[in-house]
Amino acid sequence: MQATRIVAIRHGETAWNVDTRIQGHLDIPLNDTGLWQATQVAQALVGEPIAAIYSSDLQRAHATAQAVARTTGAPLKTEPGLRERSFGHFQGRTFAEIEAELPEDALRWRKRDPHYTPEGGESLVTLRDRIERTVTALAQQHVGEQVVMVAHGGVLDVLYRLATRQDIQAPRTWQLANAAINRLLWTPDGLTLVGWADTQHLDQIVVRDENHA
């Protein structure tokens, strides 16, 4: 069967990840730890056949992808369809601030209401559909090859759910660690999971994991 191997990577750490501040479509750079993580994940992929690297256009993902491109020599292409979920008026706030200032909104968000849309943002259904459409379109161009996709926590969460056929409202029990290596296989029947949350290349520091990035 026609298949494309996908290495999916969440961007390196940012200061807002540390502060649990919602980034969404806001363009926050990597911090020093994130830059180190990007270098480490790039080194971990040396020697692997990579036909192309696709990255969200937000700089935290793009800088991570640039490190992989420099180290592996694979061509880098920007793909806005791999952006994080837009959180609208949640962006720039911490989790605690959202719960204090917008308790009703926070409750619907925490319950993973699939159709709840933060003001100016995207619902989980909209995000899932965007990611599934984008990844399918990219994978179809590389049947028989391996590609790297560098994106965000919300994007990686969708990929895991699609690959394991888990409902969009199911509680998350898997990690979305910064700069972890996650492997999937795409065929015309959809995604399947090969390996998840490999952080051996980051063992020198504590791996950070939050719900969103």
Known binding positions for substrate: 10-17, 60
Q: Cα-Cα-Cα-Cα dihedral of 125, 110, 93, 34, to 10°?
A: -80
Taking each helix axis from N to C end, the angle separating 59-72 and 32-44, rounded to the nearest 10 degrees, works out to 40
Residues 6+ apart with CB under 8 A from 193: 160, 163, 164, 183, 184
Based on its alpha-carbon atoms, the radius of gyration of the chain, rounded to whole angstroms, reads 16
Tokens of 106: 């926070």
Helix (H) or strand (E) holding 85: none
The reply to whether 84 belongs to the active site is yes
Annotated catalytic residue within 25, 62, 79, 84? 84
Annotated catalytic residue within 11, 62, 142, 152? 11
The reply to whether 11 belongs to the active site is yes
Tokens of 86: 């837009």
Residues 6+ apart with CB under 8 A from 64: 9, 11, 12, 30, 34, 37, 38, 41, 55, 150, 179
Residues annotated as part of the active site: 11, 84
